[in-house]
Every structure is written in structure tokens, then in C-alpha cells.
Chain A
Amino acid sequence: MNEDEVRKSAFAGIVPEHFGALKRFALSLCRNEEDANDLVAGTFLKAYEKFFTIKDERKMRQWLFRIMNNHFVSNLRSRKNLVSLDAVESGNGSSEADSFSLFEAIAKSNFVESGTPEKEFISKLTMIEIETAIGELPVEFRQAFVLCDVDEFSYSEISAILNVPVGTVRSRISRARSALQQKLWLQAREMGIRKAEKILPKSEYTCNCGSEESIEKTAIS
């Protein structure tokens, strides 16, 4: 076998193994099917070219995601669409959005259709609503958030994929979660999910810390 045949043989299993995850990441980055397919194809072709340069095959998944992200960022830069990193990091959003809690919003609202309105809210959320809200996040937040919450990479792996410090990864994920929750809340309100009329006073939802009240469930895995 010549070098190309060896490489093709070794690479054969890579596409089916990682296609699904890369396609989903590409969709979250590009937000349309056609560009996502191009990005996936470009990623695998680039990976194929550089296949013999990977030193640790256990990091194959991380390596492929890094190639995809670099390819995506490079495309964006060439289109001059990339939002300045500094603009995102230093603000470009309200502090309200950075600290928004969907749980608190539901608790303080009149969304009461059962004894556990928060659980009911989550059960009513559709995957399309979630995808739409993620798609509206600034691209730097979207990258870090999806790599963490959908693809389950660790902070250090995300740091390597995005080529940013771990602290930046943590900050982006935290801000992405708050922003996403705010978007889900606004979506829900627009769609009239918050429809029940029973209004509970806000004081019922204030923190019980320090009170006599305790709960039986203590272990959260």
C-alpha cells in the first residue's frame, strides 16, 4: 500500500464516528444547513490532509472540533463578519442579561399550572425553541456553550479548541447560559406560555436559607 492508501484506510472510520457531532456543531455555528454541510466537508478534508500530524489519537474528537472551529472563524474573518472579541468580552450586552435566571423569572411570574412550574416550563420547551435561542447568542458565546452543554467537552478541552484561556471559557459559558435563559423566557412570553392567572407574591420565593425549613433530598449527583 502507498501512503495515500494507508491514510485512506486509517481515516475510513473517522467520518462515520464523528460526523453527527461535527454536523450538529456546524449547524450551531452556521445556523443554516448548506453552510453547515460545507463546513463539515471542509473539516474532514482538512483533517484528512493533516491526518498523520495528529500525535495523540485519543484527542481525535477534540482535534476535529478545533479544525472545524478554526475553519469557521477563518471563513467569518474573510467575510469580515466576526464580532470583535473585545466587544463581546467587555460587554455588548446588559449586566441584566449576564445575571438572568430563568428559574427566578418563572418563580416570580404567574406561570403556575402545577405544583412545579419550573419543571413544567422545561417539559414544554421544544428542541426547536432551544436551537433558536442558541442561534441568537453571540458567536463566541455560542461556540463555548455548545461545546460544553451539548458536546460535553471539559473547560480545558474547550480552551484548546477555541484557543482561549480557561477563564475566558468559563466566563463565556456563564454569560451564554444567562443570555440563553433570558431568550427562552422572552420566547415563552411571546408564545403565551405564561398564561395562568394565579399570582403569587414574590415573597413566597425568597430564599429560605437560614430558616427551619429543610428538605429531605440532599444528594444531587
Chain B
Amino acid sequence: MKSKSKNVKVINCEDAIARFNDFLDRYLPGKKQEELMAHIAGCKHCFERLEFEQDLKSKIRRLADNNENQEIMKRIQKLIENK
């Protein structure tokens, strides 16, 4: 089934949700992304669920921010210097 206005295939919620992971990871091909966006634009539930997944992913990404340990790093550099 195609929508009349944009010639974009209409997908249901189940299909949309199945595409969330690929979308979040920038792995969803253009056409499928277009179909997902068209669905999201008209479905509040899927829009909010995708927004939630994005927010959660952003929060998890913050784990990358705090792992500086100068002492261990210097020890490793010393190990290499002494090789």
C-alpha cells in the first residue's frame, strides 16, 4: 500500500518498531527510513517510543565520558618505554 501524496509505502506499528534499532544505529536504508518517518509523523505512540529509545541511547553514551586514569596510563607508557 502506498500513500497518495508522497508515494511512500505505508507501514504499520510493528514494522516501524522493527526498524528502530537500524534507525538508531544509522543503518536503515534511505527508502525504509522514509517509510519509518512517514509512519512516525502520524503515530504519536511510535514517535514517543522512538524518542524514548533515542534518549536512552544518549544517556548510555555518557558512559564514554569518564574513564581517564592518568596513573595507569603513565604506567603503561613506562612499560612501553622500557621495552
Contact = CB atoms under 8 A, between A and B. Distances in A.
B1 interface: no
Nearest to A101: B49
Interface string A18-46: 01110110011000000001001100110
A103 B79 contact: no
Main secondary structure of the interface of B (DSSP, over half): helix
A15 B52 contact: no
Contacts, number: 132
B46 A207 contact: yes
A179 to B, nearest CB: 13
A3 interface: no
Nearest to A217: B47
A149 B73 contact: no
A214 B44 contact: yes
B54 to A, nearest CB: 7
A218 B40 contact: yes
Interface string B20-49: 011001110000000001011111111111
A41 B42 contact: no
B77 interface: yes
Contact of A220 (B43, B47, B77): B47
A140 to B, nearest CB: 17
A89 interface: no
A40 B76 CA distance: 8
A152 B61 CA distance: 8
B76 A41 contact: yes
B59 to A, nearest CB: 6
A122 B55 contact: yes
Interface of A: 4, 8, 11-12, 15-16, 19-21, 23-24, 27-28, 37, 40-41, 44-45, 48, 101-104, 118-119, 122, 125, 127, 130-131, 134, 148-152, 154-155, 170, 173-174, 177, 181, 205-209, 213-215, 217-220
